[in-house]
A and B are shown apart, each in its own frame.
Chain A
């Protein structure tokens, strides 16, 4: 919402400075977004008189002028047709910044003739689009500041323009008068009394209005006044200045009047050319499919239930949003019908949204226009039209009635202190409410018709507090929990944090990617289904909710590789989606290793990353969140993993706590990542929380007896899993065997194709007595027996 200072002063009697006013507005909740003071840009320029103007010797269209300035005579080359002896012009000197051409002037030679300045057009001063000639003032002294001349002779041209942001609850502040009312309530001036205008009609209009039952809710009140014999045309200067200042283009007087009251009083109006309408106006709900060519030059098709304003020929206007092109007023309009109606905010909002059509009228009606001001607004407009364009007013035609919005809420003078924590004397509270238009009687506050937002006691409190200024609020300590601060995080939250910090401790850099991925990546990770599709994505790169963090990490890896980083360890911890409904999400932590495990270095220890790097890190993260040590490994995870080189870290056969492995080469190729690339994904919330126990650890039992380690090498089929061998060995004597570890493996060679040797070490920890050689041999024999039976292994001699 834009307005000018002088426009505000139409409604507010105040001596306050612009700064005071803008600070108060922001504090009141009418946040000032910008202040444009045209005088600032015009400050350097002074008036000068042209003494002589000669033809430029080298150019037909240029004149060489002798100009009298405050610093004596100067020579200026000027191309304006009106540059001639005797006129008073606006001078920009070398060193001055000319806003309209964005240039700081210097002394220059134009076609060989020196020019010591510039006489400016309005466009060059950024005052208007006028550029037919230089500014030619009817008065003024040489050397007088241009802004001073404007202040005295044409103040509208340096009228400061203020733009404020209007929150949706304040439709009343979408009229200048509403803004003035807020300022007056704050104590910045006095709200001027509003003229109470009634213009009696002298004839009965031929155009009638009816509202169909199905349109009563959307349009409870519709007023129409015919004025005959007006002389339309350009608006008076003051009106054009006002509208231009707030960014509107003046059209013709009748249209300008509607725009003026829209902004002056938040009272949208519409004017029909009476001679272009056929028969009577009828408001009805659209059946759907009707259309109208609106003033925006586009044809809009009504949806069922939207309110149509129609004449006998069909739709002529979209109720509350935009009038029709064919029945609008033009310069030649002689008989005009002025419409003032009240359209329901909800209906208007839905219609505007469905038609994707914005207008000043829609913006206001959907937020709530003062219903009680419908007729007074029409009377004011009539008066203004008659005053400037003449004509004869008809009687107002009314359909429907003013909707009753009268309501009152309890006024509790203690409430402000109780809710806001600010003490304000009751008399001040009542004065504030009165200034805002509330009537306080018998402990009740009657809400003014222009404040649809006030819907309860809390709103009354807000009004009082806001006008008193929240800037006065003093902090008061929030009662603190007694004693030492207790932990607040849930066990799951603690885990998420632990997983994240562990991944970083393992050397991974944490990334934060968008939750959106593109369709191609979604396909690769099995998430291209419609459930995960966003209905209104902002780009084709962001169409699906990510089913996994890996596509985001792989894309990040590709970007970093393109920047020359080949060895990467990236991780992300965040939400992944299994569908498109609330709850179809899970916390995931994923790590990605690409390239070598370390940069090439003098020690030569680096190597390509492999699935066991990912496995180690996955196990470390699982350990950090307290997952059970024993996991069941299986294959068969998603198609984005290398089919033979990945493992599901299972908790039993059903629950997958995570997956590690090598990324499928086709996925890498599709995402432009140069491999090798290995990764892990872990879902911490699938890991059951440990049963609650005290902080105490179980007792540590240490044996003084010498442990014994025995090594075994087994030859097995190359697809026999080491896990099967160690599990079998462990089963040989559960009491005595403390640990079984694989320490060597090799394939082929003397073993023959398809065979491998797996060497394990078995650690025996006796509990009661040192083991004898015979006992050791007995356990060893059992180990061999178990492993052989379980895997078909052969003990290597």
Chain B
């Protein structure tokens, strides 16, 4: 099974950040079955990295691997959308959402 390389950007330890962390933890354990690496980046501490990855909104989960790179914006409370973003949904075609 492929290993997911994920990066979660948060801004400070807000309740929104905590929610995103908890949701991510749950998804990783249940849906990724341990095959994952997660980095948590606080933009307040590491703005340069956020600059490089053009992060505007937080929380943002970046799926770096496997390709395609995808950004999942929000506190990850909509589990179905997150799975869609991670290409873990049954019909992956519907998951590709390109912003206007």
Instruction: Decide whether A and B are members of one complex.
Output: no
